[in-house]
Structure 1
Amino acid sequence: MSGKIIGIRVIKPQNNYQRPTISNRTMISGRTENTTNETTNTRHENMGGIVYLVVDCSGSMEGYKMGQAKQGILEFAQDAIKKDYPVGLIKFSSTATHLCEPKHNVEDLSAYLDDMDANGSTNMAAAIAMANEHLNDTRYTRVMVIVTDGRPDRTQFALQAGQIAKNEGIDIITIGTDDADVSFLKKLATNEEFGNKVSSEQFAKAIGSAHLLLPDPDKAFNNKLLSHAQDESLEYSKHYSYNFAR
């Protein structure tokens, strides 16, 4: 009869998928790890945060603005490290250069500031891609802070590189001054609140204050666990479907 349900049949998965339960998990370091053969073992561990400062060292940054940037870097690092974020450093002009891995104290980081000299153009896309490569450990809460005084050589390439990083779970904070395009900064950042433009006199203060935007690593870790649990539940549900015959 039209419109009448005459049968419901449960179609079971063909790959013998088994939803992980307490009985088929192993306790490791106080956390549960799935040990079923059908799913990949994943150990969740909160490792804190990592942040890279990605600093424009193009020719227009020479002089006062470079001094402001270096002052802001030291102020930012001091507070970021207190929040469990070691700080790494990448500079960019016509090319991108990785200056140092994330440091746990300001003194170690400050030794690399002398290598920040202003020259060349603004290849921001290469610097974002480089930061993304170094922020590849998903056990950490990962952030890059981009500091610039102008427009990138290729705006679309920079936005594309930024989107790749954001898709991989990396937060982007942008701080600009002078010729920087505020609409571009907000589009590149994780959200509009993370994109800001200030006067050159406020440049150091804005960079230093960026630590206030760093996510709490513990909260970010808990959100990641929740997201993983939701994904696991969704994966399980996909293995069962209902066939309604009419």
Structure 2
Amino acid sequence: MTKEDLIPSKADRLLFVSAPIVLMGSVFMMLVAIPFGAVIVDGVEYVIVGTQMDISVLYIEAVSSISIIGAFMYAYSSNNKYSLLGAFRNFARMIGYEVPLGITIVSIAIMVGSLDIVEIAQAQSPIWFVFLQPLGFIVFFIALMADMGRLPFDQNESEEELVAGWITEYTGMRFGLGFFAEYIHLILGSMLVVLLFLGGWNLPAFLTNITILGIFLPTMYFLFKVALVILTIIMLRWAVPRFRIDQVVDLSWKRLLPLSLLNLGWAIMLGIYMGA
């Protein structure tokens, strides 16, 4: 934060300055629609969310894709070969994994009959969707890790090959904003895992009668599960080596895409059965 904020002489100054704003903008646009839990007052549940939308899952998927544009602006404006190579890898990875990610989200929406993420979370009160769609959970979790650029999917900034990748020429606070956006995406992505598959803030039966924590118990239970998901992602970062870019692309188009389509068919059958 205290480092000098430099702009390379051959950089596109307008894009160079605007890139962090676009990247952070995608983060704050996601914050509007993602619930942070719920409070229960006099037996009535109030969801903690900025704006509840009928198409919130599509909105979240759409605005999260803006980060691709921000990352490319980081690289292109720098006029640096390492940054540009990192951006191209970013494109190949994120576009490839957005497809199975989106299909899995649609599978959940079909089963519930709603695109509202609040209604999807509330629909898991009887049973978590990870038990109804275990294949969808695996596809979603892997695709989400790749979409966030976490190891073993951080080919866009692999230090041994590309210095710091798409963010190489940045210093000071603009450099910090790039990594800050990545970690906020990590937190929000973990929230999506909990909301779509792990029951959201719905309390199990043995916790419903606990009054010590009062109205905030559902929110604390939700944040506890989010913390466990974040810990799992960090542990995978330590345990799994970085893949080659060709392995990453093959995994997306040859493995996860067919599995996501298979899960979509299963979700349609579940939706018909549950609707009946």
- TM-score category (smaller protein): under 0.3
Higher relative contact order by CA 8 Å / sep ≥ 6: 1 or 2?
2
TM-score computed with the length of structure 2 as normaliser: 0.25
Greater helix fraction, Structure 1 or Structure 2 = 2
TM-score computed with the length of structure 1 as normaliser: 0.28
Greater strand fraction, Structure 1 or Structure 2 = 1
